Amino acid sequence: MRRLGIPTIADRVVQAALKIVLEPIFEADFEPCSYGFRPNRRAHDAIAEIHYFATRGYEWVLEGDIEACFDEIDHTALMGRVRQRVGYKRVLRLIKAFLKAGILSEGQVTRDTRIGTPQGGILSLLLANIALSVLDEHFARFWQTIGRTTSARAWHRRRGGATFKLIRYADDFVVMINGSRHHAEELKSEVATVLEAMGLRLSQAKTSIAHIDEGFDFLSFRIQQYRKRGTDKQYVYTYPSKPSMQAVKRKVKAISRRNIGHSLDELLIQLNWLMKGWTNYFRHSAAKASLKYLGYYTWHRVWLWIRRKHRRVPWKQLKRRYQGDQVGATWWQDGVRLFNPAKVEIVRYRYRGTRIPNPWSEKAQPATG
């Protein structure tokens, strides 16, 4: 289990102030391949970039898994990267103090943390991005030296080389490879070496290599290439992964089980909140079938809930009470209707790439003092 380092209110204020100072400095240097917990960037941008390169010959995928990333970042290596851009000693001392803060349990400090960025702190995600930017910079250097132009990348591949594209969201990342499985295997060792500099380990068991035809999961999406029915053309599709569908079904089931003592409208409010959030996340993918199924599954769970709550009431009477006389009507009570995900319009998310606005696009000046 990941340990949570929840700062006191005073520490939160100081960390928030530090973040205001540090974020512009490091955002000016961060590579565009990083999407997690950064201004104007989201998971959908990472998925769109994967789709973009998968349709342009990058068919092999290295799915990276870092063992206990947030818990294992080496403080010395991290502070070394911070010092490259921040020279003000008071700021450096504050960052170091937050990193080394012990864990308070039952009134006593039980552990003096010497590695990791404990989850829960305002600075934690920014510091993790600073540490993992070592991976971003490694691939950026390759792209700049070999892959500046399309013709240069093609020439490199003709000579037996491969080209790579990293897409990272916090500690989750994939590397798209225009080459062979052999290139992907070599790259796995290379990535492990880069991460070692930050005290991190690439999980040999969970890190895998896949072809786009086999598909892979990333950020709860499934990305896979299929032949379109009735044609000989191959298309790359993104849609909700099986684990994400199973997770939302478990939540629907749990809500409908524990609220048997509540009114129907209270149940519908909770289910609608859950389904709207899930639907909004996946509405930019090929999710029509998944949304339709989720709507049916939730409708059926509500039906079971009503039958359990009113065991002795005839079904026709319940139907009139909670659906009315309209054909195909959904469940409702006191003006609250069950949300139907299938009615949500699927809108393609456009790949933005380097067009994503950065409030600090100009190189910020290092903080000194």
Domain that holds residue 328: 242-343
Residue 156 lies inside a defined structural domain of this protein: yes
pLDDT tens per residue across span 58-104: 999 999 999 988 889 999 999 999 999 999 999 999 999 888 875 55
pLDDT digit string (tens) for the chain, length 369 residues: 445 456 677 888 989 999 999 999 999 999 999 999 999 999 999 999 999 999 999 999 999 999 988 889 999 999 999 999 999 999 999 999 888 875 555 555 555 566 767 666 789 999 999 999 999 999 999 888 886 788 888 899 999 999 999 999 999 999 999 999 999 999 999 999 999 999 999 988 889 999 999 999 999 999 999 998 888 899 999 999 999 999 999 999 999 998 788 999 999 999 999 999 999 999 999 999 999 999 999 999 999 999 999 999 998 899 889 987 665 678 999 999 999 999 999 999 999 988 998 888 655 445 554
Name the strand (E) or helix (H) holding 221: strand 221-227
Q: Are residues 49 and 19 in the same domain?
A: yes
Map tokens 């059926």 to a residue: 300
Q: Are residues 229 and 262 in the same domain?
A: no
Instruction: Give the total residue count for the chain.
Output: 369
Residue 369 lies inside a defined structural domain of this protein: no
Count the domains in the chain: 2
Q: Are residues 231 and 262 in the same domain?
A: no
Quickly list DSSP for 333-363: ETTEE---GGGSPP-PPPP-GGGS--TT-SP
Residue 130 lies inside a defined structural domain of this protein: yes
Task: Please report, for the domain that includes residue 120, its CATH number.
Answer: 3.30.70.270
Instruction: Report the alpha-carbon angle 211-213-214, nearest 5.
Output: 70
- For residue 229, how many other CB atoms are within 10 A of its CB? 5
Using alpha carbons, select from 132, 138, 143, 228 the residue that is nearest to residue 178: 143
Of 193, 218, 239, the last residue of a domain is 239
Q: Are residues 258 and 231 in the same domain?
A: no
Using alpha carbons, select from 166, 199, 174, 178 the residue that is nearest to residue 30: 166
pLDDT tens per residue across span 28-42: 999 999 999 999 999
Q: Are residues 268 and 220 in the same domain?
A: no
Map tokens 């941008």 to a residue: 45
Q: Are residues 168 and 273 in the same domain?
A: no
Q: Are residues 126 and 232 in the same domain?
A: yes
Residue 305 lies inside a defined structural domain of this protein: yes
Residue 74 lies inside a defined structural domain of this protein: yes
Cα–Cα distance for residue pair 245/247, rounded to 1 Å: 5
Q: Are residues 68 and 167 in the same domain?
A: yes
Q: Are residues 80 and 116 in the same domain?
A: yes
Cα–Cα distance for residue pair 143/138, rounded to 1 Å: 9
Q: Are residues 17 and 130 in the same domain?
A: yes
Sorted by sequence, the CB contacts under 8 Å of residue 98 that are 6+ apart come out as 7, 11, 15, 121, 123
Residue 228 lies inside a defined structural domain of this protein: yes
Q: Are residues 290 and 154 in the same domain?
A: no
Cα–Cα distance for residue pair 175/14, rounded to 1 Å: 36
Q: Which amino acid is at 165?
A: K
Q: Is the pTM of this model over 0.85?
A: yes
User: Hey, what are 48's tokens?
Assistant: 């769109």
Quickly list DSSP for 71-83: HH-BHHHHHHHHH
Name the strand (E) or helix (H) holding 279: helix 264-282
Q: Are residues 19 and 37 in the same domain?
A: yes
Residue 268 lies inside a defined structural domain of this protein: yes
